[in-house]
Amino acid sequence: MAALEFVLLWGSLSTGLAYQWPKTLLSSINPLIGSGGPEPNLSGGMIPSVGPPFASTRWVAQNQANYVSATPFNYTELYATNGSVHGFQGTRQPAIWMGESAWAAIVPGMTSGSPEDIIITDFDARGLPKIPGTETFGVALYSVGLTFPKFGGSTVNVLMSASSRVGHLQFTFEKGPEDSSAPYLFLPTTRPTTIFHNPNIFETIYPNGTVQISPENNEICGSNTEMQDWIIAPDSTKEAASHFTGWYCARFDTPFPIYGVTQGNTISEKANSGSGEEIGAYAQFEFPTQSNTVTINVRIGTSLISADQARYNLDAETSSFDISKTRVATENAWAEKIGRFQVETDGSSAADSNKTVFLTGVFHAMQYPYEVHEPTLGTPRYFSAYDNAIHDGESYSGYSIWDTYRAEWALTLLLAPERVPGMVRSMLQDYEEGGWLPMWKNMIETNIMVGTHADSLLAEAVLKGFGGGESGSGDIQPTFTAKELTTIWEAAWKDASVPPHGDDSGVDYEVRAGLSTFFAEKASGKGWVANDIHSESVSRTLDYAYDDHAVAVLSTRLPSHIVEAHTPNLLQLQAQFYGDSLKQNNVTTFLNDRALINPWTVWNTTASSPAVVTGGEDIKGFVQARQRDGSWAAPTDGFTEGDRWVYSFAFVHDIGELVKKRGGNESFSKSLDEFFDGGWVDFTNEPAHHTPYLYALAGAATYTQERVREMAYINYNNTPNGLSGNEDCGQMSAWYVFSAMGFYPVNPVSVNLPVPPFIPPSHWSIAKNQYYDQSTKSYVLRIRAPGAETKPYVRSLRINGRVVEAWEEPLISHDEIRYGGMLEFEMSETAENWGGGRGAWTRNVTDYASPSAFHLNGNVEHVEL
């Protein structure tokens, strides 16, 4: 919202000499945003890590041991002023409430060689105090100076950078005047670790691993079987996933005359290998005669395949021990994302701060899901924990889809189109190897959250052009083969039609648990997930309805012969749903009916809540859980990260009907007021994210303009506590990024900023498009909102020169900006009529250019702010 002028460039990832994107904005990113907070739920759960976009491992200074609810780095005032660093970790923990797996780490230390001065392995004991003022955070380089209290005056200066699968660190040890000590680098390889499982149990376990030391090659390699979330994987995948192993190979630029294996606190000097619990290895170095300093560079390759592959990754991604080369390569990778933005503000410090929140949002959003495939001479390959096998192809992990289907995926389609085919194929592989599309994949399915929103991801990707090439757009090159399109359909249709194994007892994969009671019988008056069988029943009912909508969209966008040939059981499901009377055999109609009928079965028209803040009549009509027999459960039952207030706004694919059910635009808007001002809104969790935009769909865009700023102000800022809730793989930030640009995908499968990376050079959007930029080979979307820093209201909008009249619905269509374009907002200090202003009911009819031109079309999408 600080955008005075805001330019977004996209496209252009293809051939030819790569454009050098500017790096200047990288220094505006604040990697500390979201790394602190009073407790795990009220923290971004992000870490100030280094590594390129979508990095396999991200490297971070550790100040606590990480596990579910604790990230490796937790910012506190105490840490900032007088903290200690306990090591440097390459982590794959994707979110604060998820587990770690296949990590690697390295810890500097010093010893005098006397018997009591041994390698310190214990996490707490090995911490080294920071030298005040030395710690710096960047996207590609972290640095810190540490002291050795037991060796007065001795220090180590650490630089840390990383490529996707390789940590690159430089340690410069300096000994104090009276020291004859020797520095070492310790590689903890297995550790006592904490796993979390039902019912709310934290348990310590001791994963096994191995270490191999090759002093002749200056190398230490190791393996570790830790995968904290294995415990919550579906039973059917547990055996295969139990073979999961992470590998690393560390190569030093300096020979190490002394080395050894550690196990717990036991040190075996000169041992070349070891295995088991709490295992580690160390390399000890000497200060050159006549010198008080020694600098050691180390590159640590990681792999999910083997130690050899870790070594291969090391050589493939980093060609030298010169850390500045690794840093520059990673900066260039970030510049390709961040440098696509040009944000101009009024230059005030408040505006600069907002700009930092915005750019850091892009930085967060472009980290997930993260790549787990590994390079070879030819096609990349990946280890799959679903079937304990190595396959050819690209694969990704860290899919928090219940969160990311809302806006993060839309942003990925826009900013990282080159990744989309691989990310989609990765989901298809999970389906083929594990039986279902992912829900929350953290190396393996974890059964966290509800719904099968991968359906939405697939539908949105296909809708935005990542399909097979459609009739009428023949010049768009197909992304997926007919076989892949078939798998896309089969997997989504399976979600929509097959209940999980054990649907009425303990499910294996959660997918659409309750589907057999939910979808079965409209004819006999059902249509909901029964609350006395399944937890989170209201959220499931609503989420499955939205997913049905997504699969319906998909059914219209895939080649019809594929859909017709691969929709088993349709007749039977229809007969069950409608009763026997209707046999139309049309999957689109069937899914649309389910999407538009079933969610309203949990709408209790007489349920009410006093309008405490807005006064007047009670707010009427709320979603409410229902039992198997149709009776209503308690109003507090059945919700996932929310309550009946926020879930009553969850009908994103049927907003028009929702507005009617709440009594029309005026009373619907008042219910939104009560939601925001009555203390019901909770932006720390995702179900609230689209709610500020709903006013605009009820003809009262002014309130959207105010609420979006209010939510941005309350929930985001440029400090370590600057995210009010968990980042959830980019969704918190994606909301901010879209909102600052001026719109939001309320119904993600209906609004698109399309990304056509497979457009041939002959396509008109390149050959004859004033918004195509030759030098950057990108489409340019220009968003102008002069004065937006202090003027929150919209007076007018022009899209590519076309005036969006005040009485029109404030919608921007996909086609208007899919190949770049120009949005020109005229801002105002006071509320305006544009987008319906404060609503027809509060204003003089004469204010309108054309009051009769109002029309109801609630179904879609986003607005401006």
Ligand X SMILES: *[C@@H]1O[C@H](CO)[C@@H](O)[C@H](O)[C@H]1NC(C)=O
Q: Is 94 in the site for ligand X (CB under 6 A)?
A: no
Q: How far is the CB of 274 from ligand X (least distance, A)?
A: 13
Q: Is 393 in the site for ligand X (CB under 6 A)?
A: no
Q: Single out the residue of 675, 662, 664 nearest to residue 614, CA to CA.
A: 675
CB closest to ligand X, residue no: 699
Q: Is 209 in the site for ligand X (CB under 6 A)?
A: no
Q: Which is nearer to ligand X, 727 or 789 (CB)?
A: 789
Residue whose token pair is 């904005």:
25
Using the rule CB under 6 A, which residue among 166, 462, 688, 712 binds ligand X? 712
Q: Is 388 in the site for ligand X (CB under 6 A)?
A: no
Q: Is 202 in the site for ligand X (CB under 6 A)?
A: no
Distance set, CA 67 to CA 17, 95, 204, 233, 662 (Å): 43, 10, 10, 16, 44
Q: Which is nearer to ligand X, 395 or 685 (CB)?
A: 685
Which span sits near ligand X by CB under 6 A: 204-212, 260-268, 360-368, 814-822? 204-212
Q: Which is nearer to ligand X, 219 or 641 (CB)?
A: 641
Q: How far is the CB of 392 from ligand X (least distance, A)?
A: 30
Neighbours of 153 (CB within 10 A): 13
Using the rule CB under 6 A, which residue among 212, 272, 589, 719 binds ligand X? 589
Q: Is 207 in the site for ligand X (CB under 6 A)?
A: yes
Q: Is 721 in the site for ligand X (CB under 6 A)?
A: no
Which span sits near ligand X by CB under 6 A: 100-108, 174-182, 322-330, 697-705? 697-705
Q: Which is nearer to ligand X, 767 or 853 (CB)?
A: 853
Residues ≥6 apart with Cβ < 8 Å to 503 = 513, 514, 515, 516, 517
DSSP string for residues in 624-648 = --B-TTS-B--TT-S-SSS-HHHHT
3-state secondary structure 325-370: HHHHHHHHHHHHHHCCEEEECCCCHHHHHHHHHHHHHHHHHCCCCE
Using the rule CB under 6 A, which residue among 166, 836, 848, 861 binds ligand X? 836
Residues 430-459 that bind ligand X (CB under 6 A): none
Using the rule CB under 6 A, which residue among 95, 437, 646, 840 binds ligand X? 840
Q: Which is nearer to ligand X, 27 or 605 (CB)?
A: 605
CA dist., res. 82 & res. 130, Å (int): 7
Please give the distance of CA 471 from its chain centroid, rounded to a whole number.
33
Identify each DSSP E strand in 112-181 by its residue range: 128-129, 142-147, 155-162, 166-174
Residues ≥6 apart with Cβ < 8 Å to 293 = 172, 173, 174, 175, 287
Identify each DSSP E strand in 148-270 by its residue range: 155-162, 166-174, 182-188, 193-197, 201-205, 208-214, 219-224, 246-252, 258-263, 266-269
Which span sits near ligand X by CB under 6 A: 157-165, 232-240, 376-384, 848-856? 848-856
Q: How far is the CB of 358 from ligand X (least distance, A)?
A: 9
Which span sits near ligand X by CB under 6 A: 230-238, 530-538, 694-702, 758-766? 694-702
Interface with ligand X: number of residues (CB under 6 A): 53
CA dist., res. 465 & res. 759, Å (int): 10
DSSP string for residues in 375-390 = --SSS-EEEETTTTEE
CA dist., res. 211 & res. 588, Å (int): 56
Q: Which is nearer to ligand X, 180 or 844 (CB)?
A: 844
CA dist., res. 758 & res. 468, Å (int): 11
Q: Is 709 in the site for ligand X (CB under 6 A)?
A: yes
Q: How far is the CB of 373 from ligand X (least distance, A)?
A: 27
Q: Which is nearer to ligand X, 13 or 799 (CB)?
A: 799
Q: Which is nearer to ligand X, 403 or 674 (CB)?
A: 403
35 with 46: CB under 8 angstroms?
Answer: yes
DSSP symbol at 130? B
Q: Is 660 in the site for ligand X (CB under 6 A)?
A: no
Q: Which is nearer to ligand X, 236 or 275 (CB)?
A: 275
Residues 599-628 that bind ligand X (CB under 6 A): 604-607, 624
Q: Which is nearer to ligand X, 27 or 82 (CB)?
A: 82
Name the β-bridge partners of 603.
623
Per-position x/- string for 38-77, each x denoting binding to ligand X as judged by CB under 6 A, each - no binding: xxxx-x--------------------------x---x-x-
Residue 317, CB-side half-sphere exposure with 13 Å CA sphere: 31
Residue whose token pair is 């691993």:
209
Using the rule CB under 6 A, which residue among 601, 665, 691, 731 binds ligand X? 665
Using the rule CB under 6 A, which residue among 180, 204, 844, 852 binds ligand X? 844
Element holding 49 (H helix, E strand):
none
Q: Is 583 in the site for ligand X (CB under 6 A)?
A: no
Residues 270-329 that bind ligand X (CB under 6 A): 277
Q: Is 776 in the site for ligand X (CB under 6 A)?
A: no
Residues 119-158 that bind ligand X (CB under 6 A): 129
Q: Is 749 in the site for ligand X (CB under 6 A)?
A: no
CA dist., res. 420 & res. 424, Å (int): 6
DSSP symbol at 818? B
The one-letter amino acid at 594: R
Using the rule CB under 6 A, which residue among 134, 143, 172, 208 binds ligand X? 208
Pairing of strands 208-214, 219-224: antiparallel
Q: Is 842 in the site for ligand X (CB under 6 A)?
A: yes
Per-position x/- string for 329-368, each x denoting binding to ligand X as judged by CB under 6 A, each - no binding: -------------------x-xx--x--------------
Burial 577-610 (b: 16+ CB within 10 A, else e): bbeeeeeeeebeebbbbbbbebbbbbbbeebebe
CA dist., res. 602 & res. 536, Å (int): 13
Encoding tokens for residue 80? 């900032």
Q: Which is nearer to ligand X, 694 or 781 (CB)?
A: 694
Residue 277, CB-side half-sphere exposure with 13 Å CA sphere: 7
Using the rule CB under 6 A, which residue among 214, 236, 295, 588 binds ligand X? 588
Give the footprint of ligand X on this chain (CB under 6 A).
1-2, 37-41, 43, 70, 74, 76, 82, 84, 129, 205-208, 277, 348, 350-351, 354, 586, 588-589, 604-607, 624, 632, 635, 641, 664-665, 685, 697-699, 709, 712-713, 789, 809, 836, 840, 842-844, 854-856
